[in-house]
Amino acid sequence: MGDYGVIADVSAIMVDTLTRALRPLSRVEPPIAELNDLSGTVQTPPPKLTVFLYDIAEDPSARNRPPVRSRPPDPPTTRKPPMALLLRYLITPWGGDQDTQHRMLGRALQALYDEAILDGGRLSGTLAAGNDALHLSLTPLPLDQKSWVWYAIQKPYRLSLNYEVRVVNLDAELTLPVRPVRSRTLQGEPVS
């Protein structure tokens, strides 16, 4: 069940996955991943991969799903299907030299490719109890679109990765009672 905290849960899962992936890069002071809106200066050391959620959209591939019905022993109810969200992240290396930044990007690519589908025990928060699976994919954006993202946050362009996470289900809160049919009357024309 994805309640209103599902977006924060997905962001935390991304940060945790990347932080675990970065540990082998250094025994002294391994790089870390952190959720960051890039509005201020990124504090280093240690070297960091910032995870910036820059776009939330409704996933068009999951529209028009049927209503969700409650299961017994609960009273019969229906609610809208979950809103299927598509989250877009900008992952950027900071600190260290160019070699360190490139290794961080390479390790992030490797980890998110290996764990392109996160489900079961790899999910946390409100997603841990459900049957959802998150699909992570590298999004190829042309350089001009990447530049617009950096322009929008008023920062100079930096080498970064763009990832999409789908389908993030945000459950509807409103439920409607289902009234059981108690009787019915059939009327028809006599057959001649």
Residue 184 counted as domain residue:
no
Query: How far is it, in rounded angstroms, from Cα 93 to Cα 31?
Result: 9
In the chain, the number of structural domains is: 1
CATH, residue 145: 3.30.2000
- Considering the entire predicted model, what is its pTM? 0.80
Residue 180 counted as domain residue:
no
Phi–psi pair at 81, nearest 5 degrees: -65, 160
Q: Which pLDDT band holds residue 2 (cuts at 50, 70, 90)?
A: low
pLDDT tens readout for residues 43-83: 778 889 999 999 898 888 777 777 777 777 777 777 777 78
Residue 190 counted as domain residue:
no
Residue 91 counted as domain residue:
yes
Q: Which residues contact 81 (CB under 8 A, 6 or more apart)?
A: 65, 66, 67, 68, 172
CA distances from 64 to 170, 173, 185 (A): 15, 17, 32
Strands 83-94 and 161-170: antiparallel
Residue 137 counted as domain residue:
yes
pLDDT tens readout for residues 97-146: 888 889 999 999 999 999 888 887 777 777 777 777 888 999 988 888 88
Residue 189 counted as domain residue:
no
Range of the domain at 17: 6-174
